[in-house]
Every structure is written in structure tokens, then in C-alpha cells.
Copies of this chain bind each other. A is one copy, B any other.
Amino acid sequence: MRNTKEQILLTALELFAREGFDAVSVRDIAAALGLSKGALYRHYQSKREIFESILRRMERRDAQQARDRDLPEETAEQTPAAYQGASLDDIAAFSKDMFRYWTEDPFASRFRRLLTLEQFRNAEMGALYQQYLAAGPLEYLRDLFSAQGLARPQEEAALFYGQMFLLYSVYDGSENRQAATELADRLIDGLRDRLQRLQNEERRKEP
């Protein structure tokens, strides 16, 4: 097979995302690919190395995506000025993209579920879960909303990202995933409109 190493990584991710790292055996991965266990060890030194390759792959994808959008990669140190270019419309559109990315992209949706399953096992996994899926996006949106001149960026960010974050789980458990995606779009639009009204009020007060 030509692309065996890649197939191993993708198949392992698929299984890890459903069962968790420990519950998946090297035999399971090999069987899902129609290979012998030995063949896997031609491409990876250990089961752990497959897992770590998945982590590195996600890092690469994330860095690439940040470069594509040329948004600041480290939110913590940035001044709000760095976000001034974006509008609430941009933020809403960006959020819809993110929702689709974490639910529909084959790699990202599985990686999200993998992180969900591994988040309590050690500090590193917990930090990655926070960074990619919980406190990270929340703080990022808080900074964006702060740069938008909204009076209570923390609260608005929790509302905005909270409903998205909840819908990831609703999506995962839903029989009609398209409906979940449409609901996400509707909720994002609804909150965007509300924030725009708030923003207009703010600007009327302090121009």
C-alpha cells in the first residue's frame, strides 16, 4: 500500500475518537485496515507514537489555519487593537466556519471527540482541551468583543461561545445533524443581531 502511514493515522484517530486511547488495541487498528500488527510497526515505533502524531498533525493544521486567516496566534499578549479590523458580521461568519470545522471536518471533528475523551487523563490533555475547545475560544471571543467596544465582553463571549459549545454536543448526539448545524447558524445570527444593537447603543453614547 502506498499511503499506509497516513491510513494508520486516520484509522487510529477514528477509533480513538470513539473509544478512547486505552480502549483501542493495536490489533483493532490493524484489523480495521486489513493489515497485520507487525506492519503498523514499520511505520510507527509504538501505539503512543501514533497518538502523538495525531497531536502534532492538529498543531500543524491549527497553525496553518491561523496563518490563512492571519489572525493573531497568541491571544493573551495581544492588544485589542489587533482585532480592530473585524466586524461583528465577520465574527459571526468566522464562528459559523468554526462550527462547521469542528463538526464536519473529518480530522477536526474526530480530534475534538478524542480530546473530549482524554481531557481528564493528564495535565497536557486538559490544557489542549481548554486551548482548542473551552477557555481558549472563550477568551478569544472576549478579546474580540472587547475590541468591538461592547460594554461586557466577558458576558457576551460566554453567551456567544456557550451556545456554540453546547451545540457541539447536541450535534454529536443528534440524529439530524443538518438541523443542528442550521440551529447553530440561527443562534449565531440571533446573537450577532443583538450585539449589533448593543454596539449601536454604545456608539450613540460615546462616539
Cβ–Cβ < 8 Å partners of A22 in chain B: 19-20, 22-23
Cβ–Cβ < 8 Å partners of A174 in chain B: 135
Interface residues on A, range: 35 or more
Cβ–Cβ < 8 Å partners of A135 in chain B: 169-170, 173-174
Are B162 and A164 neighbours in the complex by a CB distance under 8 Å?
yes
By beta carbon, the residue of chain B nearest A169 is B134
Q: Does A12 contact B (CB under 8 A)?
A: no
Stretch at the interface among A51-59, A87-95, A117-125: A117-125
Name A's B-contacting residues (CB within 8 A): 17-23, 113, 116-117, 119-121, 126-127, 129-130, 133-135, 138, 152, 154-155, 158-159, 161-167, 169-170, 172-174, 183, 186-187, 190-191
7 smallest CB-CB distances across A and B, nearest first, come from: A162-B162, A162-B163, A22-B23, A162-B166, A134-B169, A130-B173, A158-B163
